Structure 1
Amino acid sequence: MRGSGVSVWRNLGERTVYENRWVSVNMADVELPDGRHLDHTVIRLRPVAVATVVNQANEVMLLWRHRFITDSWGWELPSGGTGEGEDPAIAAAREFEEETGWRPGPMRLLLALDPMPGISTSHHRVYWSDTAHHIGHPEDAFESARREWVPLERVPDLIAQGEVRSANAVAALLLLQHLRLR
């Protein structure tokens, strides 16, 4: 609840520890409600655009991929960083096409989320479409081992089995399953 009478943490300034075109790692001088100060790491990232398509058979296009950072395999949605000034809906459609070889229809905002608001400005906007047509081999086929149309009814089981680990995919897939199968 915003403005619930509870004192807030205040960012009094930041210094950059590391920066490249994708990320900035900063140390913030934070004043706590009781007046104490602490250094707090802040990871600033470009906004992320995520895309999903649910076809007429209530199947969703998913990518099966390995993430070297966690050394894990799982189902994910196509996604990527948005360019400076790029419309996130256009970025989501571009990522979907590049990573799947399918061109989505008009993209609509499904949800926006901040997966790690305690440390990161990683803002994710998830878009969805109910149409797509195959245009050929994915331009970025190296990003996943395979691409499959997966029935939405399987989503809860895939999540429970740990096969969908990405926070944006879990949130988006559960919401789509709820909206499409109720």
Structure 2
Amino acid sequence: MIDLANVMINKELRVSAYAICIDDGKILLARWVGADEWQWTLPGGGLDHAEDPVDAAIREVEEETGYRIAVETLLGMDTVRRRHPRGPGREADFHGLRIVYEGRILGGTLRHEVGGSTDQAAWVDLDRVADLERSDVVDAGLALYRVRPRNGRVSGP
């Protein structure tokens, strides 16, 4: 049994930028691969130090899918907070800030990322998304895309 009084908690903040690209009833997704799991996600990821979020979304989409995009619109932001074990006596209090843009394909060719955090990229019919093993950022992105809230978030105060 773990003595909770002696658990070290690390606060972790990760700011990420994603692009939702929809064309002809299909959405562009990338398959994220972890140590023992995988799930479909929006193309995107963490900002590099001092990187602008728009530039990060453009860079990440190209890295993960092979496409060059234009960022059309800031759809909004989504936050997530989770606690994760980080080894014996350590836990992470993770806070993710996810910035979601609408992207338009400018060029490139669909390809899979090599040596990164994703291993596949695909256009998926929108009516099939609910059946996929997927990250919650896909649902958050689709909600922002459909609702286009004035305050930049779908739910909350």
Letter in 2 for 1:98: E
Deviations 1:46-74 (A, max 9, x none): 4111122111x021111123221xx2222
> Aligned residue for 1:52?
20
1:141 equivalent in alignment to 2:110: no
**Higher share of residues assigned strand:** 2
Please state if 1:89 is matched with 2:54. Answer: yes
Structure 2: tracts of 5 or more residues without a match = 1-6, 84-92, 149-157
The two structures have a TM-score, normalised by structure 1, of: 0.61
Encode CA deviations 1:81-109: one digit per residue, 9 max, x unaligned: 21233211111111001111001123422
Cα distance in 2 for partners of 1:95, 1:111 equals 18
Aligned pair in 2 of structure 1 residues 125, 61: CA closer, same or farther (>3 Å)? same
Matches within 5 A, 1:1-182: 41-55=9-23, 57-68=24-35, 71-116=36-81, 119-129=93-103, 131-136=104-109, 140-143=113-116, 144-158=118-132, 163-164=133-134, 166-176=135-145, 178=146
Between the two structures, name the one with larger relative contact order (CA 8 Å, sep ≥ 6): 2
**1:153 is matched by which residue type in structure 2?**
D
Shift of 1:114: 1.6
Q: Is the 8 A contact 2:44 2:60 kept in 1?
A: yes
Structure ID, larger Rg: 1
- Contact 2:19/2:71 (<8 A) preserved: no
Cα deviation, residue 138, structure 1: 5.0
Aligned twin of 1:26:
none
Stretches of structure 1 that go unaligned for 5 or more consecutive residues are: 1-38
Query: In the aligned structure 2, how far is the partner of 1:45 from the partner of 1:140?
Result: 25
| Aligned length, in residue pairs | 134
**TM-score, normalised with respect to structure 2:** 0.69
Does the Cα contact within 8 Å between 2:28 and 2:123 map onto a contact in 1?
yes
Structure 1 CA distance, aligned partners of 2:128 and 2:112?
28
| 1:169 shift after superposition | 2.0
SS of the residue 1:114 aligns to? strand
Stretches of 4+ aligned residues off by more than 4 angstroms: 136-139
